[in-house]
């Protein structure tokens, strides 16, 4: 791969923005791009480096790249350059196959707070392939060895910058939770959880209402957080929350895998398998 393309790939990865790489894997007839030609396509569907052919091939590759990024799946597309009506719209006199691979940044699990639940969430999050960032003045590398980054000096939570595919779990259990929640609600975070007692959670939500947040915004907050596993210990609570995160990330159904199709329908209708 040319060095300039490698530089672009590294830069895009450092920016934590999704992109796709389109690679010509086969050609036939008269085509402008050769096998092995590559292009980097950004999240807007624009080629920012490289080349896979003229306008006909470029349009098909960019459109497919957007869909691949949305689905998180690779795809091989057949581009017919012989038929201007049924093919790509330009009679170039050949055909090509292009492999489109999305490159999505690893989702970040933002943990606000310290304590046993946060420690367990850090370990579980890393095991699930998340990049874990722990933000609390009392955290240390010895207690959070799996964390990708520790933030120990962030009084106004300026370093809390979640993206839409990120997960935020607030387990501060002190007065700072309403401040970190306010900042998180102002972001595009896809998952926001507050681990707190029902009384504490109510106080925090009431404070946010007074700060101007409306009902639709508050509904983004998962509190009580996690799935109903009957969790009691900190380890079990962490598992409950991580189970909900996996459910959200993978768009699962949350039903027992042993259920038949009919039983699943009954489960959805009644909320139980009986």
pLDDT in tens, 50-106: 999 877 889 999 999 999 999 889 999 998 877 544 444 445 568 899 999 999 999
Instruction: Please state, in angstroms and as integers, the Cα–Cα distance from residue 20 to each residue in 46, 103, 108, 169, 188, following that order.
Output: 10, 5, 20, 29, 22
Alpha-carbon distance of 25 to 111, in angstroms, equals: 42
pLDDT of residue 29: 84
pLDDT at 91: 52
Residue 134 near residue 152, CB atoms below 8 Å: no
Phi/psi at 98 (5° precision): -125, 130
SS3 for 161? coil
Q: Is omega for the bond preceding 254 within 30 degrees of 0, making it cis?
A: no
The residue with tokens 């959200």 is 248
Mean pLDDT in consecutive groups of 10 residues from the start of the chain, 274 residues: 81 90 92 91 94 86 95 93 54 82 94 94 97 94 96 92 93 81 90 91 90 91 93 96 95 83 76 55
Output DSSP code: residue 190: S
**How does DSSP assign 120-136, residue by residue?**
HHHHHHHHTT-EEEEE-
pLDDT of residue 95: 87
> How many angstroms separate the first and last alpha carbons of the chain?
58
Q: Which CATH superfamily is domain 108-250 in?
A: NAD(P)-binding Rossmann-like Domain (3.40.50.720)
Domain ranges of the chain: 3-103, 108-250
- Residue 144 pLDDT: 96
Rounded Cα distance, 65 and 43, in Å:
8
- pLDDT reported for residue 111: 96
Other residues' Cβ atoms within 10 Å of the Cβ of residue 69 = 21
Distance of alpha carbon 29 from alpha carbon 97, whole angstroms: 12
Convert the pLDDT of each residue in 132-154 to its tens digit.
Answer: 999 999 999 999 999 999 999 99
């Amino acid at each position: 791969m040319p060095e300039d393309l490698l530089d672009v790939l590294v830069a895009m990865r450092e920016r934590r923005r999704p992109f796709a790489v389109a690679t010509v894997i086969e050609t036939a007839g008269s085509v402008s791009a050769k096998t092995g030609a590559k292009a980097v396509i950004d999240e807007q569907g624009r080629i920012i480096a490289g080349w896979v052919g003229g306008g006909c091939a470029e349009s098909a590759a960019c459109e497919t790249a957007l869909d691949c990024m949305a689905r998180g799946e690779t795809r091989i597309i057949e581009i017919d350059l012989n038929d201007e009506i049924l093919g790509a719209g330009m009679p170039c006199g050949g055909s090509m196959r292009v492999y489109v691979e999305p490159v999505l940044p690893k989702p970040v699990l933002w943990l606000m707070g310290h304590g046993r639940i946060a420690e367990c969430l850090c370990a579980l999050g890393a095991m699930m392939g998340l990049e874990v960032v722990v933000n609390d003045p009392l955290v240390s590398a010895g207690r959070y060895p799996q964390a990708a980054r520790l933030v120990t000096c962030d009084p106004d939570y300026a370093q809390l910058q979640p993206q839409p595919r990120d997960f935020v779990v607030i387990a501060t259990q002190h007065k700072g939770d309403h401040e970190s929640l306010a900042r998180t609600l102002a972001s595009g975070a896809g998952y926001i959880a507050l681990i707190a007692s029902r009384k504490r959670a109510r106080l925090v939500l009431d404070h946010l209402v007074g700060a101007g947040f409306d009902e639709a915004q508050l509904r983004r907050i998962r509190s009580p957080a996690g799935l109903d596993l009957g969790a009691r210990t900190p380890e079990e609570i962490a598992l409950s929350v991580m189970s909900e995160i996996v459910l959200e990330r993978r768009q699962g159904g949350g039903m027992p895998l042993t259920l038949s199709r009919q039983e699943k329908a009954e489960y959805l209708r009644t909320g139980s398998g009986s």
